[in-house]
Amino acid sequence: MHDHRLQPLLHDLVSTVLAPTSALSGADGQIRPAGVQGLFHADARVLSRVTLEIDGREPEPIGHAVPASGLARFVSLARWLGDREADPTVRVERVRRVTPGAMAEEITIASTASVPFTCTVTVTLASDFAPIEVVKSGGGAVPLKPETNGGELLWRAGDAHVTVTSADGERTEAGPRWEVTLAPGERRTLRWNAAVTDPRAVVAAPAGPREWSRPEIEADDARLVRLARQSLDDLESLRLTVTGAPGETFLGAGVPWFLTLFGRDSIWAARMMLPLGTSLAAGTLRVLARLQGAKTDPATGEAPGKIMHELRRHAFVLDSGLRLPPTYYGTIDATPLWIALLHDAWRWGLPEAEVADLLPALEAALGWLADDGDADGDGFLEYLDSGGRGLANQGWKDSGDAVRFRDGARAEPPIALAEVQGYAHEAALAGAALLEAFGRPGAERWRDYAGRLAGRFRERFWVEGGYPALALDRDKRPVDALTSNIGHLLGTGILTPGEELRIARTLADPAMSGGFGLRTMSAADGGFSPLSYHCGSIWTHDTAIVIAGLARGGHGALAAHLAEGLLAAAETFDYRLPELHAGDERSLMGRAVPYPAACRPQAWSAASALAIVHAAVGLYPDVPGGRVLVRPGAPLGALAVRGLRVAGAPVDVTVDRSGTAQVTGLPSGLRVEGP
């Protein structure tokens, strides 16, 4: 028997989302008082039960769909009503609409029976206002007693409350109730809704329309079209702002645990979406600059110039002993990634005035690279949770067992991750380019920094077997596990072309790429498990980052192979790719195996669809330099994408089956260059 609570499973739940509100139910539409099911707003569960019954019985489910952002449909049967024959004659259609701060349901009872009937329809509700971290730990809270006010039910938790109304139903303390009589061929629709008031939430819905274009995509591979369509819906549903900063839109990291601002996740998602416009990147950059570290605080991980990790209304406390403060800075990679996003957005055409406004934050972030980011002065970025209550690992693989040697032994901190050195190299060169272009000092310092970092990396990280180690441990020993992290080095400039080729060949080994995407750890390593969070599973965004690096570096065959793996996985998950899935061989079941606690939808997983499209069309603008490189790098058949954005202008790209690209709509003054 387990003597501790387990994190609830998610893989078979239906998510209906329009941030910062989300509903998680069973495939039958029922929200039961168990696990992570519920209606959530920001970081609290405002309804812990929403169950529909007819005559005291639950309808029998036969299908569901999530056709658009914030919308879900569920179809079920009430076979005890109507005609007594094989074909069902009473159908129940349940339409759920989630909007920011609200959820509404329409329940339609439709009869094709030859006789009339009468039934009682009830919706039973409960609220516990459990914090998301309590739910994540497998816990809950005592259901609250509702207040009644006329036709309303109301539950309070401090100054937050949820109110339920029904225009035509009888109110009971358990929820709305209707008496329904239907003649043959009749139907009746019942309606109720819940509205949330939460003045202390730290995130809110943006007021305006989405910040990016929605391109039209045609492809030989229909899976790519379906994946992009679903992903664009999901990305729109994850738009958020920080309360009090309505003009700074970013993407919440994921449902249900991470529907808030996450430095690394929000940056990567915005970076992948640059081909659709720079406005989302600008909002993400600005909101993170507003929260940029200004002082040294070991309790929160804050340091001058550092970009934060995550934002909550209160401390995030788990049973494991983890205790993260409301604004937490425990991340080693968000700062160089912020610099890279600013640089890339500038290249894609972010207006110069908006770039200039962010240059003080850029200079502070660069300062962190050489100062607090390198606490022991060895020339590498490393992390250490000095307080013992934060994240033990602070790269994107942030679980406690993520950094292992090839024999499976865990590395001891401080840890210097391989990919983070690549990010730092890229950030230094990006920062130098921006400083020089805007007439600010320091460009040569950061170019020199990058050169010295590349030399140190070459000397210390490469191991027997011909690939870079995952990390250096506290004793500066190479942590020699073979992992996907090394794929993030592609395109950062820290590798020579020959070294990039060696990494590409290493990642092509079936031990790494034999699943539905790229494994986080080689199947030949001692720490490998296909259902390990970071040591053998396959992460959508991780694979997409590597696809992008391979495509730009000219390793198209492997890029296409990995992309095909994600497209095959997308079929398994109804084209809503989860945070991660199992790293099993493709031959095991012929379809991807879920990782049962994976978030879905998740921002950087959804944005990965755009990263695959971008790798296939190969459009790389340099608006300040007056040129555009066109180099399709992931051969996925013929592809046409209409409605990309370069410097705000709509751009169309078509790639034929031979890999030849044509580009139309580029702003004047940009010259097209080939490979």
What's the mean pLDDT in 273-280?
98
What's the mean pLDDT in 486-493?
98
Q: Does residue 1 register a pLDDT over 50?
A: no
Q: What is the pLDDT of residues 222-264, one digit of tens each?
A: 999 999 999 999 999 999 999 988 889 999 999 999 999 999 9
- Residue 517 and residue 502 in contact, taking contact as beta carbons nearer than 8 Å: no
Q: Which sign does the torsion angle of CA 475, 477, 482, 488 carry?
A: positive
Let me know if residue 554 belongs to a domain. Answer: no
Q: Does residue 4 register a pLDDT over 70?
A: no
What's the mean pLDDT in 83-98?
96
Q: What is the pLDDT of residues 522-533, one digit of tens each?
A: 999 999 999 999
Same domain, 48 and 102: yes
Which amino acid makes up residue 442? G
Question: How much of the chain exceeds pLDDT 90, in percent?
Answer: 93
CATH number, domain containing residue 95 = 2.70.98.40
In this predicted structure, what is the pLDDT of residue 674?
Answer: 81
Let me know if residue 369 belongs to a domain. Answer: yes
> Rounded CA gap, 394 and 542, in Å?
16
Same domain, 344 and 271: yes
Dump the DSSP string for 232-256. Answer: HHHHHHTEEEETTEEEEEEE--BTT
pLDDT tier at 140 (50, 70, 90 boundaries)? confident
- Provide the token pair at 83: 């005609």
Let me know if residue 591 belongs to a domain. Answer: no
What's the mean pLDDT in 151-170?
93
- Residue 292 and residue 311 in contact, taking contact as beta carbons nearer than 8 Å: no
Same domain, 25 and 161: yes
Let me know if residue 228 belongs to a domain. Answer: yes
Which amino acid makes up residue 528? F
Strands 14-18, 639-646: pairing kind: unpaired
Mean pLDDT of all residues belonging to the chain: 96
Q: Which of 201, 227, 246 is the last residue of a domain?
A: 201
Same domain, 406 and 261: yes
- pTM greater than 0.85: yes
How wide is the angle at C-alpha 398 spanned by C-alphas 393 and 403, nearest 5°?
60
- Provide the token pair at 528: 């490998």
Q: Does residue 280 register a pLDDT over 70?
A: yes
Same domain, 169 and 218: no
Q: Which of 142, 177, 201 is the last residue of a domain?
A: 201
- Provide the token pair at 179: 């008496």
- What residues make up the domain containing 47? 14-201
Same domain, 156 and 241: no
Q: Which of 172, 201, 230 is the last residue of a domain?
A: 201
In this predicted structure, what is the pLDDT of residue 439?
Answer: 98
- Provide the token pair at 93: 């259609």
Same domain, 217 and 195: no
For residue 393, CA distances in Å to 155, 303, 440, 471, 620 come to: 39, 17, 35, 12, 33
CATH number, domain containing residue 272 = 1.50.10.10
- Residue 415 and residue 396 in contact, taking contact as beta carbons nearer than 8 Å: no
Q: Phi, psi (5° rounding) for residue 185?
A: 85, 0
Same domain, 26 and 127: yes
3-state DSSP call for residue 291?
A: coil
Let me know how long the chain is: 675
- Residue 119 and residue 201 in contact, taking contact as beta carbons nearer than 8 Å: no
What's the mean pLDDT in 474-498?
98
Same domain, 256 and 159: no
Q: What is the pLDDT of residues 310-320, one digit of tens each?
A: 999 988 887 67
Q: What is the pLDDT of residues 561-580, one digit of tens each?
A: 999 999 999 999 999 999 99
Same domain, 83 and 223: no
